Amino acid sequence: MVTGLKVVVTDPIMSRFERLFPRLLPEYDWHFVAGFSPLEQSAHIANAEVLVCARLSAQDAQRCQARLVHVTGSGTDRVALASLPSTTTVATTSHHEQSIAEHILMVIMAHERRLFQVSEELKAGSWRSVATDASVPMFRTFKDLTIGFVGLGGIGARALDAVSALGAKSVAVRRSVPRHPMSNENLLWTKPMDHLPELLECSDVVILCLPLTAETTGLISSTEFKRMRSDALLVNVSRGPIIDSQSLLDALDQSLIAGAALDVWWDAPMGSVAPALTQRLAADPRVIATPHYSGHANETFVSRVQEICSNIREFTAVSA
């Protein structure tokens, strides 16, 4: 028998676990509305006591009277927090650190070993290796690389452990440097954000893993690209607008960097059609392009469901 609060879930990804949520919290009144029309979704949002969402417009936020809004990821830049009532509690979740760290390893390896180029050559019947063609370069292993982390939160820390285990040296800049440094002998230094130029100049791979804020929007622009090594790889697993898109296009055209691995973009797709800028960059052979899926492991979402349900239960107990 349902006796708990009305919980409305608008996130289409989390709706795949429609059976798991009520199994963990059977006493709550669950409504999965991702497939409803925008008008129907808005009506449910307005009547929700708990809202589970990835996005929330300012208009819906103004009408939302939910006591708890639980964002289904760690970022809140797509949720109109400022438009919510001051009495609303907001919670977030993550659990994508391992999946994204593995993605980072994958794209570094693919770039360093020219995986896609070599595969296409062999599919075309061309066996080009250092044994058959003197112009073919030898690749670097992680022991040859210095990895620069721009941001060193949960994702950065997990990726740091991964690249360190393979022998890479690392440097990092972050908004706040802890008094006690991380115990990782392969981490050469951690400095404040104003040392970003130093990081760019010494890194073979630059990884962006920091939140999108007013301060980080356009953080990587033409000046920064000019400081990077010409054989460097730029990896972005945070948010697209942290990079100035035109500056990235120019950097690739001018060979200021060797390539980019982009999992996040500037515009949302229209259904399943990628935006024009995404298509343009994805067509560049120096770009490894993925549709914001680096964290999309089953483990990520099962863990999120479990934490969301736990947080709802605890919130209800405390606020009763």
Buried-exposed string 17-46: b where 16+ CB fall within 10 A, e elsewhere? beeebbeebeebbbbbbbeeeeeebbbbbe
Contact between residue 112 and residue 130 where contact means Cβ atoms under 8 Å apart: no
Whether residues 128 and 277 fall in one domain: yes
Report in angstroms the alpha-carbon separations of 90 from 13, 25, 53, 79, 175: 19, 19, 11, 10, 23
Whether residues 140 and 42 fall in one domain: no
The answer to whether position 204 is within a domain reads: yes
Distance (Å, whole) CA 274 – CA 159: 28
For residue 155, which of 81, 207, 197, 100 has the smallest C-alpha distance? Answer: 100
Q: With a cut of 50, list the residues of the chain below it in pLDDT.
A: 1
The answer to whether position 263 is within a domain reads: yes
Distance (Å, whole) CA 202 – CA 91: 38
Task: State whether the Cα torsion 76-78-83-89 is positive or negative.
Answer: negative
Q: What is the pLDDT of residues 268-318, one digit of tens each?
A: 898 899 999 999 999 999 999 999 999 999 999 999 999 999 999 999 998
The answer to whether position 72 is within a domain reads: yes
Contact between residue 208 and residue 220 where contact means Cβ atoms under 8 Å apart: yes
Whether residues 57 and 71 fall in one domain: yes
247, two tokens: 């500056």
| Helix (H) or strand (E) segment spanning residue 40 | helix 38-47
pLDDT at 3: 59
CATH of the domain at 46: 3.40.50.720
116: left (phi over 0), alpha (psi -120 to 50) or beta: alpha
The answer to whether position 166 is within a domain reads: yes
Contact between residue 41 and residue 10 where contact means Cβ atoms under 8 Å apart: yes
Whether residues 43 and 120 fall in one domain: no
Report in angstroms the alpha-carbon separations of 42 from 9, 65, 73, 88, 240: 12, 12, 21, 17, 28
Question: Domain range for residue 37?
Answer: 6-94+297-319
Whether residues 124 and 260 fall in one domain: yes
Helix 154-165 × helix 97-112 angle, to 10°: 50
pLDDT at 183: 82
Whether residues 165 and 88 fall in one domain: no
The answer to whether position 266 is within a domain reads: yes
Whether residues 49 and 85 fall in one domain: yes
Whether residues 169 and 303 fall in one domain: no
Whether residues 108 and 252 fall in one domain: yes
For residue 205, which of 107, 97, 295 has the smallest C-alpha distance? Answer: 107
Whether residues 112 and 167 fall in one domain: yes
Distance (Å, whole) CA 216 – CA 213: 5
Whether residues 68 and 111 fall in one domain: no
How many domains, the chain?
2
Whether residues 153 and 238 fall in one domain: yes
The answer to whether position 1 is within a domain reads: no
pLDDT at 9: 98
In what order do the strands lie in the sheet containing 259-262?
187-192, 169-174, 146-150, 205-208, 233-236, 259-262, 287-289
The answer to whether position 227 is within a domain reads: yes
